[in-house]
Amino acid sequence: MSGTDTTRQMLAGGPAIVLVEPQLGENIGMVARAMANFGLSQLRLVAPRDGWPNRKAKSAASGADHVIEAATVHPDLASAVADLRFVYATTARQRDMIKPVVGPAEAAARLRGLVEGGTACGVLFGRERWGLRNEEVALADALVTYPVNPRFASLNLAQAVLLIAYEWMKSAGDAAAAFQPPQVPQASRQDLIGLIEHLEAALDEADYFHPPEKRDKMALNLRNIFTHAALSEPEVRTLRGVIAALERRWAKGRRQG
């Protein structure tokens, strides 16, 4: 369906769309087109398989050049979401995690309220073939699932992005978009990841992760606890101070022993 009108204002902004290890340039281009259709412009690519920039991506974008040209590339998910303070992860299957699960309309309404209140937000989309890993989902505050046919639930990457983008555009006129962001903003992902890594290192030193073969699962549970808590920056600083105090105590005990 054609409807480009260069005399009209180009809508832009909104939450960042984060593609984790996208494979084909064509898929990235179709995502950019879906974003441009509904006023989204922040595209972040985590380790795209075929490199960047990508000629096939620009061709498939069908004129969404502003999205393609502004896209940023990141070596890992942690760096891609470092500045974000609220993150949704899209998933097609149940996850063994304590996180709120919403549909695209509810997600878009909350994103609208947060973004318009000045909170940097993002939505994670996984690999074309098998989506996001559990440790990647653990970095998100909440999950988005789609009400699809259970017998045929396969969405391609551009379709998945388009559904969120459509609801984002529609939320501009919805009463539900009156969601008010918290008065004390959440910590950035960078600060939260720093806290989690600090805690894991301290627990490694204290031999908490036992037996060793269960370390990954135990660490994942801890990550989910802290993302679920929606910590503010002062709370993160306080917890890091607590961990540092315990580290000093442990070090003192080792010296005296």
CATH code (residue 101): 3.40.1280.10
pLDDT in tens, 69-95: 999 999 999 999 999 999 999 987 666
Determine contact, residues 73/45, Cβ cutoff 8 Å. yes
Among 178, 211, 231, give the residue marking a domain's end. 178
Phi and psi dihedrals of 71, rounded to 5?
-60, 140
59, 174: one domain: yes
163, 197: one domain: no
Nearest alpha carbon to residue 99 among 239, 189, 223: 223
- Does the pLDDT of residue 232 top 50, yes or no? yes
Query: Could you tell me if residue 4 is inside a domain?
Result: no
- Does the pLDDT of residue 197 top 80, yes or no? yes
Confidence of residue 252 (pLDDT cuts 50, 70, 90): confident
Nearest alpha carbon to residue 82 among 52, 46, 130, 107: 46
29, 93: one domain: yes
Residue 59 is predicted with a pLDDT of 96
Query: Could you tell me if residue 78 is inside a domain?
Result: yes
Query: Could you tell me if residue 236 is inside a domain?
Result: yes
The parent domain of residue 248 ranges over 189-256
Query: Could you tell me if residue 82 is inside a domain?
Result: yes
Number of domains in the chain: 2
149, 195: one domain: no
166, 195: one domain: no
- Does the pLDDT of residue 8 top 70, yes or no? no
Query: Could you tell me if residue 6 is inside a domain?
Result: no
Residue 71 is predicted with a pLDDT of 97
Percent of the chain with pLDDT over 70: 89
